[in-house]
Structure formats: C-alpha cells, structure tokens
Amino acid sequence: DAGVTQSPTHLIKTRGQQVTLRCSPKSGHDTVSWYQQALGQGPQFIFQYYEEEERQRGNFPDRFSGHQFPNYSSELNVNALLLGDSALYLCASSLALAGGTAYNEQFFGPGTRLTVL
C-alpha cells in the first residue's frame, strides 16, 4: 500500500517565478492538507481540499492556491515567489470525517524542499 507521495523532492526557483508541487494521497484517502515548514520550525497549515474544493484555509496570501483532482491527488501552486517562501512543503492525506466526530489520522508525505533564490 503506497503511502503519501510528493513530487518533486527538491526544487530551486528564483524570485518572482511560479511553482507547482504535487501530492498523491494514501490509497483510500479523499482529503488532502498542505503545510509549510520553514527551517527549524513547526509546520503551518496552508489549506485543505475535499471533494475538489478548498474546505479551510490558513493565514496564507492568495499567492498560494491549490487544486484537487477527481482521483483525489492535489497540487499546490505558489505565484510571485518570495525568498520567504523557501521551506519544506508537506502534504498530508486523510479520510473525511464520518459523523463529524470520528478520529481520522493524517498521514504525511516526505515533503518537497523549495528553495527560492
């Protein structure tokens, strides 16, 4: 059973460019969350996608956008890159909550390391 996969592993971009990161959820999962982890810090929630729609968003500017496809895979797009966007971007997948209170573990991918020069 393949876990959460992300591509690419590493990416180097220059300021002002645009980048697309990709995530394939764990088999059977339908919800994808994205997190940004700056060096030496804890992950920060960017947004979550379920049924191809953004369900919740963290405190990130509109330069950060996403998409979820019918097969539940997801993309994270960042426009007009800034030096401060350099970070590890983590994708986590889970199964949508059943009945609203059920516990659903989030499984994380290995991340994409983005460096903005």
Partner 1 sequence: AQTVTQSQPEMSVQEAETVTLSCTYDTSESDYYLFWYKQPPSRQMILVIRQEAYKQQNATENRFSVNFQKAAKSFSLKISDSQLGDAAMYFCAYRSYGSGNTGKLIFGQGTTLQVKP
Interacting residues with partner 1 (CB under 8 A)? 31, 33, 35, 40-45, 48, 50, 55-56, 58, 88, 90, 92, 94, 97, 99-101, 103-106, 108-111
- In the complex, the smallest distance separating the C-beta of residue 23 from partner 1, rounded to whole angstroms, is 13
Q: Which is nearer to partner 1, 84 or 99 (CB)?
A: 99
64's CB contacts (< 8 A; 6+ apart) are 46, 47, 76, 77, 78
- Could you give the CA distance from residue 35 to residue 90 in angstroms, rounded to a whole number? 5
Q: Which is nearer to partner 1, 22 or 55 (CB)?
A: 55
Q: Which is nearer to partner 1, 13 or 45 (CB)?
A: 45
- In the complex, the smallest distance separating the C-beta of residue 16 from partner 1, rounded to whole angstroms, is 27
Phi-psi region of 55 (alpha: psi -120 to 50; beta: other; left: phi over 0): alpha
Q: Which is nearer to partner 1, 58 or 73 (CB)?
A: 58
Q: Which two tokens stand for residue 111?
A: 């991340």
